Amino acid sequence: MKALLKKVSFVMVMLLPCALLTAQVKIENLPDAPGKLMRKHNTVSFLNSLKILPVAKAFSLANTADKVMDIVCQSPHLNPPVGYNAKVFVAASHLELKEKEPALEVICYLRYLTKDSRYTEIKESLDGADLYLYINDFALFHQMGNYWEDCSKTKFPLFFEEPALTDSTNDYIEFQYKGDPVRIVMAGSKPLFVPLTRKEFVQFLVAREQYRIKNEESSIADIEKNKKQTQETLAKPASYLTDDVKKALADGITTSDKQIMQTREEIKDIREQINRYQQYLSTMTTAEAAAPTRLDYNKKDDGVAMGGIGQLVPIGRKEGKLLVKLNPSFYNHSAGAPVAQMIVLYYGWPKVGFAQAPDFLQQAIMDIFNNMDYHQLKESMK
């Protein structure tokens, strides 16, 4: 026991100076310290090294990316950076480059310059603020709106509520996405979003109900499997099968039968709902089938919480939520067309509440985002 106490005392004596030293460590940002701007070059070599894109496509995409980096580096906040280091570079994954519309990311990292009491030289922090410029970032919309999960499950083409534009010019559009501002610069004159037709919406409702039937039938199969296993257990003589256990197992079989019956009734109701939708499809006029889908979520539709034919706004009316999808003809796939045809911009940082009280680095990234030469960005895709 004495030996143990001596060891504990020794460890405490050794750790005490470390604890005191840690308590005295002071790290502070240096908003007036001169920083460095580091910019990645040789984008063509980077893309060619991945050996995914044809040479012509790699060159076209790299050309736009280099122009985008030029535009970012024109910001007064980077000439020179003060109080932080700035790094501008490109990044891409093999998956993104295998798409029909290859995606490439231009990133602007800003990192605090700090003074650490343990060292004499100025250090670069690990945290900071970032600006992201995604070329051809169609993946942004994969979880857009309230229907993306059902679209994903049913393999139905994605659609969503029309985003409310918070800013718009001839060079970009802006809307809020999950609480953050997003700006999109588009090449060409084709709209990015087009209305979802009423016919497409009702087809989605059919697909959604069919998916429900598939899940319910799978549930019945699982219940029947468990029921069969219980019946086989009851049929085997075993010492642990007391009267109480047998009764519990028999009750479980009865419960399974009730669940199966109830689920089959639910499937019957779903089939009736599908028939209702299909009947509606069959009676649609050509004009009605092609009309934009608008929904009034304040209306009830036979227990459907969100999205049902009972919530459809009469044709020609403008109230409710307009449902849209990505324009299938937005991206120009013709020979000779530039690879880069859309740039999505947004910023991020680890601290919450930046917009109310941004520090100097967060303010810098906001200023770069807001004061970017968006016309040059648009021209960069030609």
pTM of this structure: 0.83
pLDDT at site 7: 47
Give the list of residues 6+ apart from residue 364 with CB closer than 8 angstroms, or none: 77, 81, 84, 110, 129
Cα Rg of the chain, angstroms: 30
Q: Cβ neighbours of residue 277 under 8 Å, at least 6 residues apart?
A: 202, 205, 206, 209, 309
Tens of pLDDT along the chain (382 residues)? Answer: 444 444 445 445 455 555 444 557 788 989 999 999 999 999 999 999 999 999 999 999 999 999 999 999 999 999 999 999 999 999 998 889 998 999 999 999 999 999 987 877 899 999 899 999 999 999 999 999 999 999 999 999 999 999 999 999 999 999 988 878 999 999 988 999 999 999 999 999 999 999 999 999 999 999 989 888 888 888 877 767 787 787 888 888 889 989 999 999 999 999 999 999 999 999 999 999 999 999 998 887 666 667 788 899 999 999 999 999 999 999 999 988 999 999 999 987 655 555 566 889 999 999 999 999 999 999 999 9
pLDDT value, residue 18? 52
d(CA 85, CA 81): 6
CB burial of residue 287 (10 Å; 0-12, 13-18, 19+): exposed
Q: For residue 357, what pLDDT is reported?
A: 67
Give residue 47's pLDDT. 95
What Å distances lie between residue 329 and 193, 201, 370, 374, CA to CA?
A: 10, 19, 29, 23
